[in-house]
Structure 1
Amino acid sequence: MALWTMILRKMAKNRWLQLNLWLGLTICVALFSSMPLYSHAILQRTLFKELQLLQQDKQIYPGYIRVATSVSGERPVEETQKLILRADNYMNQLPERFGLSSQSYIVTRGTQTIRILPAQATEREKKEMTLNASFRMVTDLEKRVRLVDGRFPDPNRSDDVYEAVVTQKFLIDMKRDLNNEFIYTNKETGKQLRILPVGLVETSPENPYDQFKVENFNSSLFIPSERFEKDFVQNMGILRLSSIVWQYSLNYEELKIGDIEKFTSSANALSGYFNMRLGIASVDVPAKAPIETYIVKKEKLDLMLWSLYSPVMFMLVFYLYMAANLIIERQKTEISVLRSRGASRLQIMLVFAAESIVLGTLALAVGPFVGVYFTKILGASSGFLEFVQRSSLDVVLNSTSYKTAILAVIGSIILILIPAFMATRTTIVGHKQQMARANKMSFWHKMFIDVILLGVSIYLLYGFNQRMSELKELALDPNALQVDPLLFFLPAIFSLGCGLFALRIYPWLIRLVYWIGRRWWSPALYSSLLQISRSSTQYLTIKVFLIMTVATGLFSANAARTINGNMEDKILYTTGADMTLSVLWENDAPPPQMGGGNMNAGPPAESAEEPIVPKRVSYTEPPFITMTELAGVEAAARVFIKDNVAVNTDGGTGAATLFGIDTYDFGHVAWMRSGLLDYHINDYLNLIASDPKAVLISRSLSNSLGVKPGDRIGAKWSGLDEAGFIVYGIIDYWPGWSPLPKARGAKEESDENVIRPNLVVGHLSYIQNHLALEPYKVWLKLEEGSSSQVVYDDLTKKKIPVTELSDANDQLVRSKNDPFRLAINGVMTLGFVISMAISFFGFLLFWVLTLSGRSLQYGILRAMGISFMQILGMLFSEQLLTSAAAVIIGVLIGNAVSDLFVPLFQLSFNASEQVPPFEIVRQLSDYVQLYSVIGTMLIIGLTILGVRVSRMKISQALKLGEE
């Protein structure tokens, strides 16, 4: 008990230091506990979004499950009845197997198809009417359909007449009204069935989960379930049961990521169970495909989260070590005194371990709840340091987050105890010797840690860049790249190595500055230069900490901006404009052949070797002026795109994609990122505008066929005469065209098996006059502030037959809700904020401790006649030469780290499809925010230090020196 009393008193005495250490521990626990929370929450949202897109794009309810099977007539009746009963029981337990509640459950059974005739049919009708029908039952039919006319069948009727409800089309086909009797006669036995339609039904719109449409059963006679079961299932008589369909609508919103394996295994088991059990079966689980796609996304997202969190984790580790080291440095005298008076190293370590356990327990009590708050902040981010009113993430503390928090606390305690363990080796004499040798080289520099870290990071980066270049060059699957986990920590490792290396050189620069102006420096600056040059090791920790903070903050900001920017650039470049669409052209193409013909407007192009050339299809161009007058459209352009066009040059022949454009209109609508071409895209458009024969070609075509500006080329496609063009320029990129190579085979990696796309850009009018008039696309640029919905509504209003549409704005919205972007923006924002916060507390902690340790020095200086303002000048000079210099070094290192290591995030994209190429994006506002935080931190810190100096009493300082 006495030991704990001493520990608590010791902690109370150093409450400011303990508070900073506890704060660092709490943030560390919060961050580590938020990782599984955020990963779970964002993956849950991703799963939900994937299933929602299934409903939005394909109009299929995500929880829909359908099992349909035929019923074989070759088995004995008793065996078939047992199999049906077992299948019913199996399907009744389906929600439990999938772990989801049922919103709707429908069982449909149908008999074999029979030929029925009206009871009063004429002889002619008996010969000519060949309409077939079947008896069908649907569970709770009255709730799933709406009665239009008549009534529902009487379930208690027990005579030979089957009352039924039918659809409107059934009555039209049978040319009879309700309550007209129909008869089925079995040709073999002569037995008859009498059918009486008593009601007319249609699908009820009040059951959105049913996925049941009665109009799909226009030849069915719907009878009560009880009678169907009795006459056609339990007692198979004149008709036999032919088919059974079970349909479920499960509540997909209840599906959690932990139940995915259960869902997929249940879906596979469902297919296996009905495989030839009753007959030929089909099992439809639409949600299975997006869930399997989601599993792949989950793996990539886990990889992304680790790569995003690693710099922040490294910063927290460094902060904890720095704080612990500062506390131990302050208590070294006390430790050395205890050692000199007989205390063992174990006893001293137990004291520090007890303090760390107390702080760790308090951090563990608070940290996970702070982690929940962090996670909710992440869920609200729509961009880097941008927040919106988005539906909050489903965040629940779970065992995984607490396990992670406990591991973080244990690791932090070990980290804190390392400097304490090192300090227990020092006696009082050794401690005094160390204080007298404060200018000795630090352990980091003595062991060349900086050189080792730089060497490791550069080596791994070089290997990564080599593999990435091969991946792009050979068009390989990015999953083929084996990722070293150490890659995630490369930015932090490189930043630390660069920072230590810069600080190895920095003291020599200070000495050089001191030597150059030693005759002119003021006393304050003279003292500061002398202090920093002689005690460089004393300032090493804070300078490395500030360098890491600034570098990590800039890396987070630039990485977030870069990934967001490249995602958006890819969408805009691939689309080419705000919106592209194709409309239906009238033509004289023959109708498609039965059994699957070509559904395009024209016949397929034939190779040059084929002797028979089909008749060319003639097209009628729809009025283009209509497209320019659409509501919300600022400009429109005609863009003709033809693939596999034969290009003939003196150097050989090749295939290329042909773009036909109107240069003036194209320049107004096309989107192109600056820097992709040697000149602005409008310069190229102006270059070819004056000559109808002028074309631009891709560099790949120029290299493969040896074509250069001024050369003549020919182009044609099947069934056409060649048209001549003149090459005016060579380009590397063009809106809507990808220059990336494509592999011929999935596993072929040799250069010979890589297809390099070619491009020719010419005038549309010349192509139409000298080659052919064929359908083109319309590229639209929307008015500022106009939404795509305005264009959609006007297209519908004007009844323009759109056959294909691509909307960049809609894709951008989907991209912003993509889990990768949510993860990027959330974690990067959190990393930036945490870096700035711990930088502020670490800065104050260091300088307050430093000031406390130099009270005697300041007291002596004041006693010697140095004014208060000169003391402040000394402090300000030290701040400039340490903190400000560290910030400048951090900015330089942060920019270098961004240039070198932000491309690592290409691992999270399909690098073989990234067009335009990955580009580092920097935004001035991020630098302004960083400098504002750092500047505010320095001002507040200097103010606090000034106040402490102003309250310092010379007599107390001198007395302290005497003691």
Structure 2
Amino acid sequence: MALWTMILRKMASNKWLQLNLWFGLTICVALFSSMPLYSDAILQRTLTKELQEIQHQSGVYPGFMRISTSVSSSVMDEKTTSAISRADQFAASIPERTGIEAMSSYQQRKTHKMKVYGADASDQEKKIQKTTGIFKSLSDMEKRVKLTEGRMPQDRQDGIFEALVTQKFLLSVKRGLGDELLMVSPEADRSTFRVIPVGLIETDPAADPYLPYLTTDEENGFLIPFEQFEREFIEGGKARLTELEWRFALNYEQLTVEKTGQFTKAATDVKRYFRGKLGVEEVNIPATETVASYEGKQKKLDLMMLSLYVPVMMMLAFYIYMSANLIIDRQKTEIAVLRSRGASRFQIMCIYVLESTLLGISALAVGPILGVWFTKILGASNGFLEFVQRSALEISLSSDAYRIAVIAVSGAIMLILIPAFLASKVSIVSHKQQSARLAHTPFWYKAGIDFLLVGISLYLLYNFNKRQADLKRLALDSELLQMDPLVFLIPALFILGGGLLVLRIYPWLIRIIYVSGKKWWSPPLYSSLVQISRSSGQYLTINVFLIMTVATGIFSANAARTINDNLDSKIQYSVGTDIVITSKWESNALPPVNMASAAQTGSANSEFTEQRRVQYTEPPFTPFEELEGAESVAKVFRKEEARFSAKESGTSGKVELVGINTLEFGNTAWMKNGLMDYPLNSYLNLIAPNPKAVLISRSLADKAKLEPGDTISVAWDGLNQIPLTVYGIIDYWPSWNPLAVSRDAEGKGTDPFLIVGHLSTIQNRLAIEPYEVWLKLKDGVSSQEIYTQLEQSKVPVTSLRDATQELVRSVNDPFRMAINGVMTLGFVISMLICFFGFLLFWTLTLAGRSLQYGVLRAMGMPFRHIIGMLVSEQMLTSVAAVLIGVMIGNVTSERFVPLFEMSFATTDQVPPFQITYQLSDYLQVYGIIGSMLIIGLTVISFRLSRTRIAEALRLGEE
């Protein structure tokens, strides 16, 4: 008890330092615990949304699963019956295998087709009757069908089958309910079955909203009781079975990211089990591809977030170590006294272990809850220091969050104990000797840590740039937004090393300033220059803090802005405008022919291989022009398999031909500035007067050795080539990718070619074929309004690309949200740490120099001069550190932000990766830093104004 009393008294005597240390530990716990919380919450929300998108696109419940297999055996022997029984048992275990509850399920059985006619049919009617039907059964039949007339069938034992039928089927056999029908098997045994339809049915969607039974799937059949079907056809073998089917509606909301591997394995096991077990199988699980894409995604997201947190983790470690070191510095005399009175180093370390553990436990109590708040910030981020109103993430504290939090606290406690361990080996004599000596040179200064950090970061930068050059040269792909942790670690090392390197030089600059004007400096400035030049090491901690905070903030802002801008530009460029639509065109094209079956039947002759021109009928364009909310509409014809020939060089080959109307296209297309030598409209104005004028890609110009004024001929599919005149050479064009798909080891590959001409010329002199319709929307108009109008106009849309929707999906991508959120959160945390560190440092500095200020006041120095000294000191230290941070942040952005290009797919990174700077980001950083300095300076000035001269002098006498 005495030990705990001593520990609590020690902590109370340094309550502000202990509070700062606890703050650092709590932030550390919150930061680490937010990683699994965010990855769990955001991936779960994204997975659920993508599963719901399956239902939106295909109209199928996201948890739908259908297993169908034929029965190859013609005889229902014991082996086949046993195989069906085992298949039923396996199917029943599917929900357990996936780990998801089945909301609904049913199974069907079907026999082979038989001829159907009335029992009283004449011989003539039997001959002309062509109706066929099957026996089928449905589990829980009474609950799944809607009885419109008659009654439910009964399981009879007299050889007669009572059945449910559809109205269409009953009309085809020309009989009514209650009339006896005969089913005659086409098999060799010519088995005959007596059937009495007793009820008419139709689909009842309300009976099962998850898995409705559709009577229209197999209308020509008799639906009999399931138990009777099992007894008569499976166990009795009275008819050959052709199909078995099981359907499930699994509760997709129970499908968590952790269960994706289990679900994918279960889907694979289902396909493997039914493959050839009874016959030809068909397994339809629409969610499989979506779910499989999430396997391992959580680990990748956690790794990326860990790499994103590297800079702020370095600041946290620095802050925690600084706070612990300040506490130990104030207690070194006490530690030395304990050592001189016989206390062992182990006993002293036990005291600090208990003290640190107490702080760690209290941080664990609050940190994970704060981590939930951090996670919500991550989910609401839309850019650097930008937030939007999204639906809140469903966050629940998990064991993983607490496990990581405990690991983080344990590591932080080890960091806290380092100063205590170093201090515990000093005796009272050694402590007094060290106190009497002047401040020694820091270890990093003597060891050249700054040079080492800068050298390592530049070496790794060189390797990354080399790797990036190889990716471009070979046109290799790298998976979208899969960040290498070193991409964030290297800039952090460079910022720290660069800051230390400048701080190595900075004291010499202060001395030069002092010496150059010491005869003219005012007393406050003179005193500040003397203080800083003689005690430059005293300001090292706060300077490093400010430099890392500002530099990291600027780098984070530029990196986030660059990533967001390049992702958005990539989507907008690939689409070319707001919405691209392709509608259905009528044509005389023949229906597709299965060439393999045609060859087997001997019909694979010139009729199938003859090339013929397809004539298209252009649909009305008026519905597009009349769309309310569309600012402009343009026709864009694209022919990827066109051919060109250049007589001057004798070159020919494939080319993508684009036909446009220059005025409409210029008003509709989106093009990023700076991609071409001149604005897009300048090129359009260039070719507008001449209907034969075209623009060609630079790759084509280099290949065919063409220049403006040369002639190039173009056509496709056996058409006669038409001569066109080259008016301009372009590097990019909306929606056209100028990059090669792949290259060999020597960097050689086939570059795509492009020709842009007038649509009217192409249609008049070549052919009229389907074109795309490009729409540019007015401000404030949603895509849904356009979709509704197209639906009301009954425009048959065959394909559609919506840039707005693609941008929304990109913004909501978990990896992109993590980048924006972590960079924003990291900067905010850095600001908080720096603010508290700033106040802590200057408050302790002020307390340590109370005697100096008291003497100056006693000598008659006005208080305004004291404030002037403080302001001068701040300008020469804190403000200078901010300016150094800005400089290092800009250099780091210029050198290291391009590394993020490796995180994008190289073959479709169009427009090219470009660093983006935005003034508002700098103003935000400057505003936050400036507010922090002003608030800190105000607090320090207030504390200084409360200092009493007599107390300061008496303290000096003591």
TM-score between both structures, scaled by the size of structure 2: 0.93
Contact 1:116 1:182 in 2 (8 A): yes
Quote the residue 2:802 is aligned against.
Answer: 807
Equivalent residue, structure 1, for 2:517: 517
Q: Kindly provide the CA deviation profile for residues 708-745 of structure 1, in whole angstroms up to 9, marking residues without a partner as x.
A: 3333322222322222233333222111101121127x
* 1:173-208 alpha-carbon deviations (Å, 9 max, x no partner): 334443333212357556531112222222112122
Give the aligned partner of residue 210 of structure 2: 209
Deviations 1:649-671 (A, max 9, x none): 32323432122112211111111
Deviation at 1:16, TM superposition (A): 0.4
Consecutive unaligned residues of structure 1, counting only runs of 5 or more, are: 599-605, 607-611
Residue matched to 1:278: 278
1:835 aligns with 2:861: no
Cα distance change on mapping 1:246 and 1:416 into 2, 3 Å? same
Quote the Cα distance in structure 2 between the aligned partners of 1:242 and 1:484.
54
Structure 2: how far apart are the matches of 1:277 and 1:693? Answer: 64
* Aligned: 1:876 with 2:864: no
Query: Residues of 2 paired with 1:830 and 1:220: CA distance?
Result: 64
Contact 1:304 1:908 in 2 (8 A): no
- 1:735 aligns with 734
Shift of residue 299, structure 1, vs aligned partner: 5.0
Aligned pair in 2 of structure 1 residues 175, 381: CA closer, same or farther (>3 Å)? Answer: farther
Mapping of residues 444-459 of structure 1, within 5 Å: 444-459=444-459
In 1, are the aligned partners of 2:481 and 2:816 still within 8 Å (CA)? no
Shift of residue 104, structure 1, vs aligned partner: 0.6
Is the aligned partner of 1:223 residue 2:224? yes
Could you say which residue in structure 2 is the equivalent of 1:707?
Answer: 706
Pick the aligned partner of 1:892 from 871, 887, 894: 887
Mapping 1:39-188, distance limit 5 Å: 39-73=39-73, 77-153=77-153, 155-186=154-185
Whole-Å Cα distance in 2 between the matches of residues 728 and 300 of structure 1? 49
Residue 534 (structure 1) aligns with: 534
Query: Which deviations, in whole Å up to 9, do the C-alpha atoms of 1:551-585 show, x marking residues without a partner?
Result: 22223333222222222211111110001112233
Q: How does 1:432-447 map to 2 (within 5 A)?
A: 441-447=441-447
Task: State the secondary structure of the residue aligned to 2:842.
Answer: helix
What secondary structure sits across from 1:751 in the alignment? coil
The whole-number CA distance in structure 2 between the counterparts of 1:110 and 1:576 is: 52
Instruction: Describe the SS at the equivalent of 1:103.
Output: strand
Matched, 1:261 2:261: yes
- Answer with 850-859 or 476-485: which moved more: 476-485
Deviation, structure 1 residue 481: 13
Counterpart residue number, 1:294: 294
Kindly tell me: are residues 335 and 852 of structure 1, through their superposed partners in 2, closer, same or farther at Cα, counting changes over 3 Å? farther
Aligned to 1:658: 657
Counterpart AA for 1:511: R
- Count the aligned residue pairs: 945
Asked if the contact 2:308/2:485 (under 8 Å) is kept, the reply is no
How far is 1:347 from its partner? 4.2
Deviation of the 1:439 alpha carbon: 6.4
Partner of residue 686, structure 1 = 685
**Alignment deviations for residues 410-430 of structure 1 (CA, whole Å, 9 cap, x no partner):** 111111222333344556666
Partner Cα distance (2:480, 2:630) in 1? 44
**Counterpart check, 1:645 vs 2:642:** yes
Quote the Cα distance in structure 1 between the aligned partners of 2:907 and 2:736: 14
Q: Is the 8 A contact 1:476 1:749 kept in 2?
A: no
Distance in 1 separating the partners of 2:635 and 2:451: 59
- Does structure 2 conserve the Cα–Cα contact (< 8 Å) formed by 1:561 and 1:922? yes
Change in Cα spacing, 1:769 to 1:365, as seen in structure 2 (3 Å) is same
1:940 aligns with one of 930, 935, 957:
935
Residues 306 and 485 in structure 2, CA contact (< 8 A), matched pair in contact too: no
State the secondary structure of the residue aligned to 2:205: coil
**Are residues 939 and 961 of structure 1, via their aligned partners in 2, closer, same or farther at CA, if it must alter by over 3 Å?**
same
Match of 2:234 in 1: 233
Counterpart-to-counterpart distance in 1, 2:531 and 2:413: 33
CA displacement 1:12-33 (0-9 Å, x = unmatched): 0110000000000000011111
User: Does residue 755 of the first structure (1) align with residue 750 of the second (2)?
Assistant: yes
- In 2, the alpha carbon distance for the partners of 1:194 and 1:279 equals 29
Distance in 2, Cα, partners of 1:925 & 1:169:
69
1:277 is paired with a residue of what secondary structure?
coil
Tell me the residue number matched to 2:603.
none
Gaps of 5+ in 2: 599-605
**2:719 corresponds to which letter in structure 1?**
L
Bigger shift: residues 951-960 or 298-307: 298-307
In structure 1, what is the equivalent of residue 772 of structure 2? 777
Could you give the per-residue CA deviations for residues 572-623 of structure 1, whole angstroms, max 9, x where no partner exists?
A: 111100011122333343444466999xxxxxxx9xxxxx984433333334
What residue is the counterpart of 1:494 in the other structure?
Answer: 494
Q: CA deviation at 1:479?
A: 5.4
Matching residue of 2:761: 766
Letter in 1 for 2:945: S
Percent identity of paired positions between Structure 1 and Structure 2: 56
Q: Give, as a single letter, the amino acid of the residue that structure 2 aligns with 1:85.
A: S
Q: Which amino acid aligns with 1:223?
A: I
Once structures 1 and 2 are overlaid, which stretch shifts more, 175-184 or 504-513? Answer: 175-184
Match of residue 602 from structure 1: none
1:517-576 CA-partner distances (Å, limit 9, x unpaired):
222211101111121122111111111111111222223333222222222211111110
- 2:854–2:952 contact (8 Å) kept in structure 1: yes
1:350-391 CA distance string (max 9 Å, x none): 333332222112112221222122223322334443444433
Alignment root-mean-square deviation, CA: 2.7
Q: 1:635: Cα distance to partner?
A: 0.4
Which residue in 1 is equivalent to 2:29? 29
Per the alignment, residue 603 of structure 1 pairs with none
The equivalent of 2:614 in structure 1 is 617
Letter paired with 1:643:
E
Contact 2:137–2:226 (8 Å) recurs in 1: yes
SS at match of 1:395: coil
SS in 1 for 2:293: helix
Say which is worse superposed, 908-917 or 23-32, in terms of deviation. Answer: 908-917
Pick closer, same or farther for the CA change 1:937–1:485 going to 2, 3 Å.
closer
Q: Does 1:310 align with 2:307?
A: no
CA distance in 1, matches of 2:437, 2:701: 68
Verify: 1:632 aligned to 2:634, yes or no.
Answer: no
Pair 1:371–1:668, CA change in 2 (3 A): same
- SS in structure 2 opposite 1:821? helix
Change (3 A) 1:718 1:278: closer
Q: Work out the CA distance in 2 between the residues paired with 1:597 and 1:855.
A: 98
SS at match of 1:249: strand
> Which stretch of structure 1 is more off in the superposition, 503-512 or 320-329?
320-329
Distance change in 2, residues 1:896/1:171 (3 Å): farther
How many Å separate the matches in 2 of 1:421 and 1:156? 87
Query: What is the rounded CA distance, in whole Å, between the counterparts of 1:878 and 1:338 in structure 2?
Result: 38
The answer on 1:824 being equivalent to 2:819 is yes
Aligned residues of 2:479 and 2:903 also touching (Cα < 8 A): no
Counterpart of 1:7 in structure 2 is 7
Match of 2:601 in 1: none
What is the TM-score of this pair, normalised by structure 1?
0.93
Q: Counterpart amino acid of 1:795?
A: L
Deviations 1:64-121 (A, max 9, x none): 1222223343666333333333332332232222211111110111122211222233
Moved more, 43-52 or 660-669: 43-52
CA contact (8 A) 1:859 1:958 kept: yes
Amino acid across the alignment from 1:695 = V
Q: Is the 8 A contact 1:147 1:200 kept in 2?
A: yes
**Greater displacement, 435-444 / 938-947:** 435-444
- SS of structure 1 residue aligned to 2:756: strand
Find the partner of 2:841 among 843, 846, 849: 846
Are the equivalent residues in 2 in contact too, given 1:738–1:915 (CA < 8 A)?
Answer: yes
From the superposition, tell whether residues 847 and 642 of structure 1 become closer, same or farther in structure 2 (CA, over 3 Å).
same
Cα distance, 1:727–1:933 mapped onto 2, change above 3 Å? same
